[in-house]
Structure 1
Amino acid sequence: MRHDKVRATLLMAASIVAGTLAWSGYILLLPVAFTFPVLWAFARTRLTAAVVSAGYFLAASRGLPQGVATFYSSDLWPGLLLWLCASAGFVIVHTVLWTKKTGARPRRYLLAAVLMAVPPFGIAGWAHPITAAGVLFPGWGWWGLVAATAGLMGLVTRMWPTVAIVLVGFWVWSAATWNEPKLPKSWQGVDLEMGASLGRDSSIGRHRDLIATVKDRASGEPFTIVLPESALGFWTPTVDRLWVRALKGTDATVIAGAAVVDAGGYDNMLIAISAAGAQIVYRERMPVPGSMWQPWRSLLGASGGARAQFFENPIATVADSRIASLICYEQLIVWPVLQSMLHDPDVIVAVGNGWWTKGTSIVAIQRASVEAWARLFTKPLVLSFNT
């Protein structure tokens, strides 16, 4: 009994280390997440499997309590509660599907991986080990995804040492030859440091400052400029006219985050603006659960909250390019990017408004995740974040 407790404690400690290192924001450390299925398979009881799963997920999402406290200007308790609630799905799935039968483990783990990649469990499917496929198998595309999945399944079998050695070999080779995703020609992402005021300051002065930034960036080669999530605040006819008029006489196209509000709630979206006019090119498929997406409000007869489009608008055409858009939270989960990749886009556009993540590694993790996907599918990547 004492030996089992020591074993469980060591497995939990190892899972915490794995979650911390893999999701530190350093892209080449993402494959450390492949340690999790090994530790899960080493568990001798369902309780130990639950503890290992909780240790990994809570360590991977450790920045959430502080981020929530900053966002709501509150103490840590709401963030801690959300942190624990978010881990519930991951822990439940991996606890229920754990088995002592060695032969059944690969199928069970595959099912767990699939469940954590798609709704409903995939809504909180952060820290998914499959994200590391882009580091282990850059440029392999869908075959790389298959190879990574096979590797994850192999790590829960008795052949795990051999599988691990092979994966480490791919990891070392990838690290030695690593190249950042390319920026598409004539595109540029603009990072801003406007803190919480971005999207909340709707003054004409703020819009004119952003327009000046765009024109300055577009004075050279780039003609498609990407601004962060919420950069335009609430999208209204007045804001529409202001931006379209400001771009008259230029060839620039601006893609920027905005929100459209109606009686039922709001859509978090991306707007493409040029001298010819403005159009909505993307409505967020998965807003942040809890703080933005609040489906219980409709059940209670209340309105408000961001709408989730789930599987809508995976790609859009802007400036003669087919783009896959990922807004903030969508960069941390699996199905939005894979759905977009099914349509073979020309460019991945990833934006975020991460002012509330100060002091955490959340934005770095978002960047690492989307860069890994871009490298897996060899897609040019445009990033734009506000901090």
Structure 2
Amino acid sequence: MIRDLALPITLIGASALVGYVGWSGSALTLPVSVAFPILWSLSSSRRTAATVSAAYFLAASRGLPQGVSAFYQSDILPGMVLWLVASLGFVLVHTALWTHKLGWARPIRYVLAMVTMAVPPFGILGWAHPITAAGILFPGWGWIGLILMAAGLAALTTRYRPAAAIAFGGLWLSSAACWTSTNLDRDWQGVDLQFGSSLGRDVSLARYHALDLNISAQRHAGISVIVLPESALGFWTPTTERWWIEQLKGAGVSLVAGAAVVTDTGYDNVLIRVTPAGGEVVYRERMPVPGSMWQPWSQFTGSAGGARAQFFANPTIDMDGRRAAPLICYEQLLVWPILQSMLFDPDVIVAVGNGWWTAGTSIIAIQRASVEAWARLFDKPLVMSFNT
């Protein structure tokens, strides 16, 4: 009996450790997550595969309960419930596609699991995807690197896993030895803020003056575009637009900042571009946070107020002759938004977030690591702006 339980317990414990270390918030630890398909494929039953999958996902997303508790200013219980619910997609997919058959069955099914968790509908909860490590193992290889990464992950589920693991290990060591700082864009600059939960909620004149002072204090010479975090401008109104137009006159820069635009059924989480000539919405978030922002059930209950999901709309924005791939907050944890943007070969990746509610967790660090990995894979300059 004890011998029968030894392997499942070992696999479950190892899977939790892989999720915890791989998604610790450092880009260099992302390759640890490639051990998950090994553990999944070694499961001796569908039940074990389900538990191994749950252990990995729950460990990787461990900051969610505390973050939800802070966001809603409640006890930990709602966060625990949402944490478990969020894991269901990952667990169901990997449980349903697990097989005891050997040969080509397992790698083919794992590829199906990878694709399923990368695109909607299951991709909506596709956090902690091991393929994100492609940017660390194959920096600059682009789509070829992504294909090689997928092939390598599939190989880890076969009897050739030792060779694949050794190859991945060698690539990891090589990447770590040659590690350099992220390639920053020379014309765009992200400004980090520490305004806490008041950002986007305090729309007073004093707050806008504080934002303007932050921009002036942090602006580098030669910068043409300043990027501010998600929700930085609050609700976008004609009055807000006029105020920022006045501030930018003679400044020699354009502003890209997060805001909210009210619609008939709720609001859009957007990026606004402001110049001395005027302001305009340049990006509408493709995937707002499910539950707290995106509430698809509201159309059936008759309620309103949630953020709209654009899914595959506006994958890039054009500014001053340059094409940017925008990612707002939650999108940085997913796979399909960045890959859809990369299809259009953007010149720069722009990642913004409002993570005041993540204090004490590694969520923002994981977002940064994920975006950095994608930027390295496709060799794109990266601009980031977060509020804490």
TM range (shorter): over 0.9
Question: What residue is the counterpart of 2:52 in the other structure?
Answer: 52
> Which secondary structure does the structure 2 equivalent of 1:102 belong to?
coil
Please provide the CA RMSD for this pair. 0.9
One-letter code aligned to 1:86: A
One-letter code aligned to 2:155: G
2-side partners of 1:220 and 1:16: how far apart?
Answer: 46
Question: What residue is the counterpart of 1:285 in the other structure?
Answer: 286
2-side partners of 1:169 and 1:218: how far apart?
Answer: 40
Question: What residue is the counterpart of 1:29 in the other structure?
Answer: 29
Would the aligned equivalents of 1:217 and 1:225 in 2 still touch at CA under 8 Å?
no
Unaligned runs of 5+ in 2: none
One-letter code aligned to 2:193: L
Question: What residue is the counterpart of 2:259 in the other structure?
Answer: 258
Would the aligned equivalents of 1:181 and 1:379 in 2 still touch at CA under 8 Å?
no
Pairwise mapping of residues 7-18 of structure 1 onto structure 2 (< 5 A)? 7-18=7-18
2-side partners of 1:316 and 1:15: how far apart?
Answer: 39
2-side partners of 1:39 and 1:218: how far apart?
Answer: 47
One-letter code aligned to 1:30: L
Would the aligned equivalents of 1:199 and 1:234 in 2 still touch at CA under 8 Å?
yes
> Is 1:225 matched up with 2:209?
no
One-letter code aligned to 1:44: S
> Is 1:74 matched up with 2:74?
yes
Tell me the CA shift for residue 383 of structure 1: 0.4
2-side partners of 1:189 and 1:177: how far apart?
Answer: 25
Question: What residue is the counterpart of 1:133 in the other structure?
Answer: 134
> Which secondary structure does the structure 2 equivalent of 1:148 belong to?
helix
One-letter code aligned to 1:297: S
> Is 1:339 matched up with 2:336?
no
Question: What residue is the counterpart of 1:294 in the other structure?
Answer: 295
2-side partners of 1:384 and 1:319: how far apart?
Answer: 20
2-side partners of 1:339 and 1:223: how far apart?
Answer: 26
Report the TM-score, using the length of structure 1 for normalisation.
0.99
Question: What residue is the counterpart of 2:186 in the other structure?
Answer: 185
Q: Answer with 182-191 or 65-74: which moved more.
A: 182-191
Tell me the CA shift for residue 75 of structure 1: 0.3
Unaligned runs of 5+ in 1: none
2-side partners of 1:47 and 1:164: how far apart?
Answer: 25
Question: What residue is the counterpart of 1:61 in the other structure?
Answer: 61
2-side partners of 1:15 and 1:4: how far apart?
Answer: 18
2-side partners of 1:368 and 1:150: how far apart?
Answer: 23
The 1:68/1:120 distance shift into structure 2, 3 A limit, reads same
Would the aligned equivalents of 1:180 and 1:371 in 2 still touch at CA under 8 Å?
no
Question: What residue is the counterpart of 2:208 in the other structure?
Answer: 207
One-letter code aligned to 1:24: S
Question: What residue is the counterpart of 1:120 in the other structure?
Answer: 121
> Which secondary structure does the structure 1 equivalent of 2:30 belong to?
helix
2-side partners of 1:164 and 1:50: how far apart?
Answer: 23
Question: What residue is the counterpart of 2:84 in the other structure?
Answer: 84
1-side partners of 2:329 and 2:165: how far apart?
Answer: 32
1:146-204 CA-to-partner distances (Å, cap 9, x unmatched) read 01001000000001011100110011001100123211112211111110011110001
Would the aligned equivalents of 1:218 and 1:224 in 2 still touch at CA under 8 Å?
no
Question: What residue is the counterpart of 1:311 in the other structure?
Answer: 312
1:112-137 CA-to-partner distances (Å, cap 9, x unmatched) read 00000000000000000000000000
Pairwise mapping of residues 159-174 of structure 1 onto structure 2 (< 5 A)? 159-174=160-175
Structure 1 runs (4+) deviating above 4 angstroms are none
1-side partners of 2:28 and 2:182: how far apart?
Answer: 13
2-side partners of 1:338 and 1:115: how far apart?
Answer: 14
1:313-365 CA-to-partner distances (Å, cap 9, x unmatched) read 00011232100000000000000000000000000000000000000000000
2-side partners of 1:154 and 1:378: how far apart?
Answer: 26
> Which secondary structure does the structure 1 equivalent of 2:54 belong to?
helix
Would the aligned equivalents of 1:25 and 1:367 in 2 still touch at CA under 8 Å?
yes
Tell me the CA shift for residue 218 of structure 1: 4.1
> Which secondary structure does the structure 2 equivalent of 1:51 belong to?
helix
One-letter code aligned to 2:46: R
Question: What residue is the counterpart of 2:361 in the other structure?
Answer: 360
1:287-313 CA-to-partner distances (Å, cap 9, x unmatched) read 000000000011112211000000000
2-side partners of 1:233 and 1:312: how far apart?
Answer: 22
Report the TM-score, using the length of structure 2 for normalisation.
0.98
